[in-house]
Amino acid sequence: MCSLQTVLARAMRFIGVGPPTDDAGWAPILSPKTEVAGSRPKGGTPPMAEATRELLRNFYTPGLRELLWLLRDEPDAAEWRAWSEV
């Protein structure tokens, strides 16, 4: 499996954005400061309503299918397909 930095660099080049060239440039991307407003349930994030999940799935499915088609010849295409089926 590819490292997060490798995947992000490929994605940045794909959309025409040059990835950082040194560790200082990658630092805020790979280890961002996180601020959480409010409290979280003990188990993590609150459950998402099924209607919301379905709305998001319907909204993003066409774009995800197009992305998968564009990435079909990439060495890690199977990983992208597996991720999209979650």
What is the residue extent of each domain of the chain?
1-33, 48-86
Neighbours of 39 (CB within 10 A): 6
The whole-model pTM stands at 0.44
Q: What was the pLDDT predicted at 56?
A: 93
Is 68:80 a contact under the CB 8 Å cutoff?
Answer: yes
Q: Please tell me the predicted confidence (pLDDT) of residue 86.
A: 54
Rounded Cα distance between 54 and 4, Å, is 28
pLDDT for the residue numbered 43: 76
Cα separation of 65 and 39, whole Å? 35
Cα 31 from chain centroid? 15
Q: Give me the tens of pLDDT residue by residue for the chain, a chain 86 residues long.
A: 678 899 999 999 999 999 999 999 999 999 888 877 777 777 777 788 999 999 998 999 898 888 888 888 888 888 877 767 75
